[in-house]
Structure 1
Amino acid sequence: MDKQVQTINTGPNYKRIYHDFIESKCPDKREYVKKYLSKDTMSLSDVLKINNIIFLDGLSESQKFKSYDKQAIFEMLDYQKEHQLNNSQLAKHFKLSRNTVTKWKRMFLV
């Protein structure tokens, strides 16, 4: 009898997402992100740095690939408090929509 192993979904697997994306869409940037993808766990700053490396051209199309888990959202909202930023400033800093920041605050801080 085979035992089934249950895995707990702890959020997006950024290492796998970025690895697959780089292999299929932009293999020329593999060397630039290798040090981030070799880490055991990726922090929010690692994810944002990889985003900047991959989507440096600033196309609005790249926005559709962004995904954040609760931990990343809370880190951004904590960053806002620490640096006393309003929603517009936070959105500009992390390249988000102001509406997204407002939605997160409604969802998690109410």
Structure 2
Amino acid sequence: MNIKHDGKTVPDYKKIYGDLINEKYPEKKEEYKSISSKQNFSILDVIACNEILFTKEDKNTFNFNQKHRTYDRQTILKILDYQKKHRCNNSQLARHFKLSRNTVAKWKRNFQV
């Protein structure tokens, strides 16, 4: 199922993760409750759901998934705002969100934060 967001069609992640938890991971329902109660599901919420559900990844799977992540403008700005609020340097921010330092530097350049 897809929904419209900012004029784009995106997957309905809330429904996808809700179904996944109900069918395969009912024991993780309580952890998911705080995320599922949100009105809008952001990319950061998708990442949080992935961490709740798939805590044990092998290194190859993790590297593959990292290469295929995408971030919209709103999410990038939230990540950069997190950096300001928590007074992190680029390395600390990159480790926290599992990004490369180069990505963080590029975002800061592009968004002039």
**Could you state the TM-score of these two structures normalised by the residue count of structure 1?**
0.65
Distance in 1 (CA, whole Å) between partners of 2:101 and 2:50 is 19
Sequence identity of aligned pairs in percent? Answer: 43
Matches within 5 A, 1:4-15: 9-10=6-7, 13=10, 15=12
- Paired position in structure 2 for 1:75: 78
Pairwise CA distance, 1:50 = 1.1
Is the Cα contact below 8 Å between 1:12 and 1:69 reproduced in 2? no
Matches within 5 A, 1:40-79: 40-43=39-42, 45-58=44-57, 59-79=62-82
Is the Cα contact below 8 Å between 1:44 and 1:75 reproduced in 2? no
Pairwise CA distance, 1:43 = 3.7
Is the Cα contact below 8 Å between 2:14 and 2:41 reproduced in 1? no
Distance in 2 (CA, whole Å) between partners of 1:96 and 1:78 is 15
1:28 to 9, 24, 30: 24
Of Structure 1 and Structure 2, which has the larger fraction of its residues in strand?
2
Matches within 5 A, 1:89-108: 89-108=92-111
Question: Structure 1 stretches of 5 or more lacking a match?
Answer: 1-6
The size of the alignment, in residue pairs, is 100
Question: Which deviates more from structure 2 when the two are superposed, residues 65-74 or residues 36-45?
Answer: 36-45
CA RMSD of aligned residues (A): 3.3
Distance in 2 (CA, whole Å) between partners of 1:40 and 1:67 is 21
Distance in 1 (CA, whole Å) between partners of 2:15 and 2:101 is 25
**Could you state the TM-score of these two structures normalised by the residue count of structure 2?**
0.63
* Equivalent AA in structure 1 for residue 55 of structure 2: L
Bigger-Rg structure (1/2)? 1
Question: Structure 2 stretches of 5 or more lacking a match?
Answer: none
Distance in 1 (CA, whole Å) between partners of 2:9 and 2:66 is 16
Distance in 1 (CA, whole Å) between partners of 2:87 and 2:96 is 13
